[in-house]
Amino acid sequence: MRRRRSTAVGAPLPGTAVAPRRRTADEIAAATSRPVPPVPDQGDLVEHWRECGLLDDDAVVALGGEQP
């Protein structure tokens, strides 16, 4: 008995017999590590969590935030 996946990896594009090209690890790493520009007037979430008491100073430093 064969088991089928819910979604096939490299399944053909609908209406064609062409499967999409698999991205390389370098392409995936480049796409996930690109910088995201900040939104104007957007606050720092780590700083907000620290002010609310959800994070202590050590956790802020571990997340890469500035220590007060």
pLDDT (tens digit per residue) in 9-65: 667 667 777 777 889 999 999 888 878 787 787 777 888 888 899 988 888 888 776
Instruction: Using the predicted structure, report yes or no on whether residue 7 has a pLDDT greater than 70.
Output: no
The predicted structure's pLDDT at residue 6: 54
How do the domains of the chain map onto residue ranges?
Answer: 42-68
The predicted structure's pLDDT at residue 9: 63
Residues 41-67: b if buried by 16+ CB within 10 A, e if exposed: eeeeebeeebeeeebeeeebeeeebee
Separation of alpha carbons 52 and 43, rounded Å: 13
Q: What is the pTM of this model?
A: 0.36
Separation of alpha carbons 62 and 50, rounded Å: 12
